[in-house]
Amino acid sequence: MSLQVPRNPFVTSIYTADPSAHTWDGETVYVYASHDIDPARGCDLMDRYHIFSSKDMVNWVDEGEILSSDDVKWGRPEGGFMWAPDCMYRDGIYYFYYPHPSDTKWNDSWKIGVATSKYPNKDFTDQGYIEGLGGFALIDPCTFIDDDGQAYIYVGGGGKYLGAKLKPDMITLETEAVQMEGLYDFHEATWVFKRNGVYYLSYSDNAQPQNNMRYATSDSPLGPWTHKGAYLTPVGCETTHGSVMEFKGQWYQFYHNHAVSGHGTMRSICVDKLFFDDNGDILPITQSQTGIWSYEIPDNAVTFDVKTLELFGGAKLCNDGTCIEGLGAEGSGFTLAGAEGKGDLRATIWVFYATDERLAKIKLNVNGRDESFINALGTDDVTRLTVRLKPGTGNNIVFTGGHGDMRVLQVVVSYFE
């Protein structure tokens, strides 16, 4: 069954921003994102990086938290300030780069931290920070490895943008960082990629009250750059930040907006197709609500009628027996029994709902682990979250209300590799 419903943003279970998208093997996309706090408390408290993965750009898996300020011993004592990250792979090691202050006076003490792992989606351990890189407003690390194997790192903020070569250890600067020349109205949010021998640099400008995404090109990874114009108009919230990636022959633009929350510091990550003209210029992005494809429920999906669900608290069946209501009450909810874990297959839980309250939520707990909140986007809609189930039918899946009134119409569980 195919469902023509909004799916951009493609992560609605938690608030995320600053998506850094990569594919390391050409088969799986990994998006490394920052995490906005809910309820909104400002970007100073951003923390706890998550990774999302997909093999088809449709089914997304929240791989979970990989790093927080608690893991950074050299960092700001008060924590927070875990802003836009990036990741790079080299010689069997994944390098996760992130900006973080080392002092209470946060904007004067930015450094670029590095955590490493043998896996793209777990087990990252902090290795300290890059010596000689950082300082006032220098944030938003971006890394790039050229065709000749030379690695580069870029950082920028507050109108200043620097680039440098990295040594093969991916942690030490090989050259002193230099100012990038030729950019117009640079603010932050850099991303460098290469296509048909041309280097592209996208960034956020200073337009007010909302930024544009602009880009420049060069025949050298360190410039000088030629400004080409704006290609992503304001996304609704004050900031814009994104990444560009090619996957299976198609280019994509990842970015964030505030379509879910309506709040500039509770953002959500999106993706749309990116196209170039015959001259290699980027065509303006058409921001969509439907993203790449519509939802499609696989043939192996199992439907759970609301009459089969175990209700508790103030939850009850509505008069005609077609939905669960009363989920606005504290302590209300329902349990999904019999959902089967099928070996190596991952499970996606779909929740069909209706609500008159924007941002009404249901908390999901799977086998004792809080997965997150499901944020309602419309009056009649569907949301989904991919989770890991234990083999067999002994999974304990609990939905808890008390966060706005919602009526649940149906729950579906589908499977994919």
Q: How confident is the model at residue 335, as a pLDDT?
A: 96
Tell me whether domains 2-295 and 297-416 share a fold: no
Distance of CA 171 to the CA centre of its chain: 24
CA–CA separation, 364 and 395 (whole Å): 13
Q: How confident is the model at residue 4, as a pLDDT?
A: 47
Mean per-residue pLDDT for 322-327?
Answer: 95
CATH code for residues 297-416: 2.60.120.260
Which H/E stretch holds residue 104?
Answer: none
Q: Where are the alpha helices (DSSP H) in 29-138?
A: none
Residues 6+ apart with CB under 8 A from 394: none
Which H/E stretch holds residue 264?
Answer: none
Which of 63, 188, 272, 325 is the catalytic position? 188
CA–CA separation, 274 and 250 (whole Å): 8
Phi, psi of 40 (to 5 degrees): -60, 125
Predicted TM-score (pTM) above 0.95: no
Block residue for tokens 């544009």: 212
Which of 18, 47, 126, 272 is the catalytic position? 18
* CB-based contact 184:227 (threshold 8 Å): yes
pLDDT band per the 50, 70, 90 thresholds, residue 415:
confident
pLDDT band per the 50, 70, 90 thresholds, residue 378:
low
Residue 70 in 3-state DSSP?
A: helix
* CB-based contact 42:265 (threshold 8 Å): yes
Query: Is 356 a residue whose pLDDT tops 70?
Result: yes
CA–CA separation, 109 and 111 (whole Å): 6
Q: Where are the domains of the chain?
A: 2-295, 297-416
pLDDT digits (tens, 9 = 90+) for 28-42: 999 999 998 877 777
Instruction: Judge if the upstream peptide bond of residue 224 is cis by omega within 30 degrees of 0.
Output: yes
Block residue for tokens 């909810």: 333
pLDDT digits (tens, 9 = 90+) for 120-151: 999 999 999 999 998 888 999 999 999 999 99
63 is catalytic: no
Q: How many CB atoms lie within 10 A of CB 281?
A: 13
CA–CA separation, 10 and 3 (whole Å): 14
Which H/E stretch holds residue 43?
Answer: none
18 is catalytic: yes
Q: How confident is the model at residue 2, as a pLDDT?
A: 45
Give the strand order in the sheet containing 86-90: 86-90, 93-101, 110-117, 125-134
Percent of the chain surpassing pLDDT 70: 96
CATH code for residues 2-295: 2.115.10.20
Percent of the chain surpassing pLDDT 90: 66
DSSP per residue, 218-256 = ESSTT---EEEEEEE---SSS---EEEEEETTEEEEEEE
Q: How confident is the model at residue 75, as a pLDDT?
A: 95
Query: Is 413 a residue whose pLDDT tops 80?
Result: yes
Mean per-residue pLDDT for 213-238?
Answer: 95
DSSP per residue, 334-368 = EEE--PPB-TT-EEEEEEEEE-SSTT-EEEEEETT
Residue 69 in 3-state DSSP?
A: helix
